[in-house]
Amino acid sequence: MQVFKLFFKVARSKLGIAILYTVIFFAICFPMVNASEQKVNFEDTSLSLYIQDEDQTEASRALVSALAEKHRVTEEPMDQQKLMDAMYYSTIDYSLVIKKGYAENLGSVSGNALQNDLLEEFHLRDSYAASMMNVYLNEYIRNTRVAVAMGDDLMTAVRKSSERTVIDAEIVQDPKDEVYDKNFTPKFAWFFRLLMYIMVAVIMSMLGPILLSLNREDQRKRIECSPLKTSAYVTQVFLGSAVLVAVIWLIFVAGGAALYGGMYTGTNSWMAVLNSLIFALFVTMLTIFISTFKPSSTVMSMIAQALGLGMAFLCGGFVPQTMLGEGVRTVAQVLPGFWYERANDILCRDQMGTMSDVWICFAVQGGFILLFLILTIVMSSRHPTAKSRKS
């Protein structure tokens, strides 16, 4: 087991980078992932509102109170730049100015008064939040005016408008949906989504340099001179790679379990774990394949980053696949990362699909593993070994 021991001797020197990546990954995942169960009841979206009340009347305060019942309201004065930043970073979803003369105009229900602006809103870009607020405010003001038109005094009208009819929204599940599992939430699925990039980065930056060291011309020649059989050498390298990747994968899976709050529960969580194992095997195979070209460690590092980031961007490693354009999704199908993320998205119900679709995703990834195994064998049998033997 000389080669196997050598493998881990080299691995020890690459431990620092792997630890760094892992620690940073978990530090990032921690605030992002929450393993709470899927909500089975409807939960209305509560927005962050910034309100500037220039009118300061009873009617304007009533509007602020009505909004504060459902949303988070901030009234601390903010300059335009601060407000813009807050809206850009989405810490404020909607900004509203209740204009001077609001109460007076609200009580007027005839002629030109109806055309006067009562409110001013700022939003950076079109969003459901902005649309939702505009609909609510329009309805509030119209209802108040109707009540005034029907003879109510302004404050009675305002009170009536605040009493909005609430419609029940019921969450329904497909009784035939075999994939739905409340234990594997879309929020926790972020862990497995990001895992794709981090596995490529960690496995390639750790395993790659080890294989490059073993494949170094002088090292290789020394091994070839030794009485060690080629098959034993290859077996030990494969075994070393397998053990190393298994340890890396286990660390991530265990870390995931810690974020999950204990042992994974439900079929979908375990399917996601299996998905990550298959992808880890693919990355291992890919790294072994690339190392047969004997690139420098910098090039290997670059390939790791380009592949990791490229696959993550194109295959939905940083955003759910449903957010990607149709064209991107079509192109990305040639990448195994796409199938990894698709399986993950189906399991957390971010994307529709059946368990058979998940198994298809696994099979496609398995196909990629096989492809790179064959390519590695082909490349190894043609590569400088023959040349070095002649020399």
Among 100, 123, 187, 383, binds another protein (CB under 8 A): 123
For residue 177, state whether it binds another protein (rule: CB under 8 A): yes
Closest distance to another protein from the beta carbon of 152 (Å) = 10
For residue 136, state whether it binds another protein (rule: CB under 8 A): yes
Residues present in the chain in total: 391
Instruction: Using the minimum distance from each CB to another protein, give the nearer residue, 99 or 383.
Output: 99
Q: Give the position of tokens 């309805």.
A: 139
For another protein, what does the binding mask look like between residues 12 and 51, x meaning CB under 8 A?
-xx-xx--xx--x---x--x------xx--xxxx------
Burial 169-185 (b: 16+ CB within 10 A, else e): eeeeeeeeeebebebbb
Q: Which stretch binds another protein (CB under 8 A): 54-62, 225-233, 290-298, 333-341?
A: 290-298
For residue 296, state whether it binds another protein (rule: CB under 8 A): yes
> What are the beta bridge partners of residue 94?
49
Query: DSSP class of residue 126?
Result: -
Are 49 and 93 contacting, i.e. CB atoms less than 8 angstroms apart? Answer: yes
For another protein, what does the binding mask look like between residues 141 and 160, x meaning CB under 8 A?
xxx-xxx-xxx---------
Instruction: Using the minimum distance from each CB to another protein, give the nearer residue, 68 or 352.
Output: 352
**Contacts of another protein in 335-364 (CB under 8 A):** 349, 351-352
Q: What separation in angstroms does the CA of 189 have from each of 152, 179, 202? A: 53, 14, 20
* Cα–Cα distance measured from residue 372 to residue 345, given in angstroms and rounded to the nearest whole number: 25
**Contacts of another protein in 198-227 (CB under 8 A):** 201, 205, 209
Helix (H, G, I), strand (E, B) or coil at 173: coil
* Cα–Cα distance measured from residue 59 to residue 78, given in angstroms and rounded to the nearest whole number: 23
Among 78, 309, 360, 371, binds another protein (CB under 8 A): 309
Instruction: Using the minimum distance from each CB to another protein, give the nearer residue, 353 or 366.
Output: 353
* Cα–Cα distance measured from residue 74 to residue 139, given in angstroms and rounded to the nearest whole number: 22
